[in-house]
Structure 1
């Protein structure tokens, strides 16, 4: 059975990338998660997918223009699903303190070289503070982020996120000495999976929400699935 990662927590059942979402993931017995990071104006690691606030909070503006304290005052329920209590944008520090995951996929979106270096330094410092270096893989589709990880935080495992088929993800993963390949499931052909695993890469596929697809990818031999419905994945695959 492949390992199961909650996508932004349990995105299909609770507002994504919120403390409630990650707690829901854990409650369902899924002890691995995937999340997205952006830096606040005061260089705090904030857990939010988009660089802007509109979709999840209804507010205008970029994450990078607000302090962490200001971002924590916003309610991130706007993208749904419905949830009874306000859900602030959390700091990564808050999740590290309250969510005992066995492993974290921390995705960093594309960034300039300077911003990538700031992100990587912040992640290295926080994971070191919590002693989580061996429980984290920092993932990105950005070569500037992967390069910064190589140079500034070689102690952290790296993963390449590949969403499109316009380049050979295996070559890029090798170039940046990645240990994980995070594939859009549509790119996960038997041949690509076989080649990746032969190179020692852990192949994680997203976003896998249908039971039929979960079973097909499990039979194919993927190492892990990223899903909006971690409880459904456990129920679907746990008795195989």
Structure 2
């Protein structure tokens, strides 16, 4: 199971900030989902909302601030606690910081068509210049934006973000030519996952924070989960894999008649 850190590591560090990504990276996470909005000066910055109100305590739209001004803000409000001030970073700061990330889902929020058009150009240029075709998928619930990305460069992977079962998100994703189907875990079922796979899509599901739900998604056959707690989730799957590897093979398990008698110093009571 591939584990993506949601907004870096939203449940473990301030969301969509470099310290949050660094925290998860130190614990072995190499897959991330993050959100992008265009700054006043036309730079893709990592922030979930179209305003800075929720995470910084300041007021106004992201579109009213330059990337430098956003970087100087303190984005620790209403998110995981952190001892030091952290700003809103540019996408390329993340790309410069980590050279061996395996994959990023870059989610673009709904915005004005004019701003989305500029953001589409910026992202296409960054992906082409850095040759990120294998490392990046552009995802969005905005079908117009996904069409524009596909129109500019058909080699860029795109994914539909689906929150509801209607109106037929898999059909929409197919028409768009998506290679990623990014669905709210509550709407998924085995049939949807199987259809997506037959159509060549990677099924990624959000936001899955309970082990029970992760195992349920694994049973459905999803390819990856997006979670607020990537380090502990990755630890669970790694520990489970190690435990399975350490189990003796059936050929090495003695027959019942060969097992030591309980009175020979071996506990017979349940543990």
* 1:172-195 deviation digits (Å, cap 9, x = unpaired): 101110000000000111111111
User: Which structure ranks higher in relative contact order (CA pairs < 8 Å, sequence separation ≥ 6)?
Assistant: 1
Paired position in structure 2 for 1:5: 4
Tell me, what secondary structure is at the counterpart of 2:134? helix
Task: Determine if contact 1:208/1:227 at 8 Å carries over to the other structure.
Answer: yes
Which residue of structure 1 lines up, in the alignment, with residue 269 of structure 2? none
User: Cα distance, 1:112 vs. partner?
Assistant: 3.4
Cα shift at 1:237: 1.8
CA distance in 1, matches of 2:35, 2:72: 19
Are the aligned partners of 1:8 and 1:16 in contact in 2 as well (CA < 8 Å)? yes
How far apart, CA to CA, are the structure 1 residues paired with 2:98 and 2:10?
A: 16
Q: In the alignment, which residue of structure 1 is the partner of 2:71?
A: 72
Gaps of 5+ in 2: 242-271
C-alpha root-mean-square deviation of aligned residues, in Å?
A: 1.1
Counterpart residue number, 2:145: 145
Moved over 4 A (4+): none
Q: Which residue of 1 aligns with 2:215?
A: 215
Q: Is the 8 A contact 1:162 1:184 kept in 2?
A: yes
Native 8 Å contact 1:117 1:152 kept in 2: no
Partner of 2:266: none
Q: Which residue of 2 aligns with 1:91?
A: 90
The reply to whether residue 156 of structure 1 matches residue 156 of structure 2 is: yes
Q: Which residue of 2 aligns with 1:123?
A: 123
Structure 1 regions of 5+ residues with no counterpart?
Answer: none
Match of 1:180 in 2: 180
Please give the secondary structure, in 1, of the residue aligned with 2:29. Answer: coil
Partners of 1:28 and 1:219 in 2: CA distance: 26
Instruction: Provide the TM-score with structure 1 as the length reference.
Output: 0.96
